[in-house]
Amino acid sequence: MDKVLHVQAADWQGLETSPKPVFLDFWADWCGPCKMLGPTFERLADQYGEKVTFAKVNVDELPEIANKFSIRSIPTLILMQGGSVVETLVGLRSEQELAQVLTRHTNGNK
C-alpha cells in the first residue's frame, strides 16, 4: 500500500483536521530537487507512517493550498499538528535531518 497521499482538493479538509501529524511535501513535476526528495519522503513514510500522515501537494495543481501556506520556493516541507504548522523546511534536506524533525514531533516513536 502506498503510504504517501497525493493530495486532491477533496482530501484537504481531512488533512487540516487530522488528529495525526501531517507532513506535507509541496512540489511540482518540473522541480529537480523535488524529484530528488521523492524517494526520501517515501522511505520516511515507510518508517513513520503509523504516527504521521505523509502527503504530497502539487503546487501547479493545487495553487490555493500552496498560497494558504505562502509557498514561494519548492520543495517546501511542512509538518502540521492539530491543524497548525509546527515546522517548515525549505529546500532539499537530508533524510537524517527530516527523520530528526519527525522524531522530535512524534515523541521519538516511529
Is the residue at 35 inside a domain? yes
Annotated active-site residue in 31, 37, 44, 80: 31
Is the residue at 102 inside a domain? no
Per-residue confidence (pLDDT) for residue 83, from 0 to 100:
84
pLDDT digits (tens, 9 = 90+) for 1-58: 468 989 998 888 888 888 899 999 999 999 999 999 999 999 999 999 889 999 999 9
Please check whether residue 59 is in contact with residue 27, taking contact to mean a CB–CB distance below 8 angstroms. yes
Is the residue at 99 inside a domain? no
Cβ count within 10 A of residue 50:
10
Annotated active-site residue in 34, 57, 65, 77: 34
90 is catalytic: no
Per-residue confidence (pLDDT) for residue 14, from 0 to 100:
86
**Domain total of the chain:** 1
Range of the domain at 59: 4-91
91 is catalytic: no
Per-residue confidence (pLDDT) for residue 109, from 0 to 100:
47
Is the residue at 59 inside a domain? yes
pLDDT digits (tens, 9 = 90+) for 43-96: 999 999 889 999 999 999 999 999 999 999 999 999 999 889 999 999 999 999
Is the residue at 70 inside a domain? yes
- CATH code of the domain in which 33 resides: 3.40.30.10
Only one residue has cell 498560497, namely 67
Amino acid identity of residue 85, one-letter, is V
Axis-axis angle for helices 32-48, 95-105 (nearest 10): 40
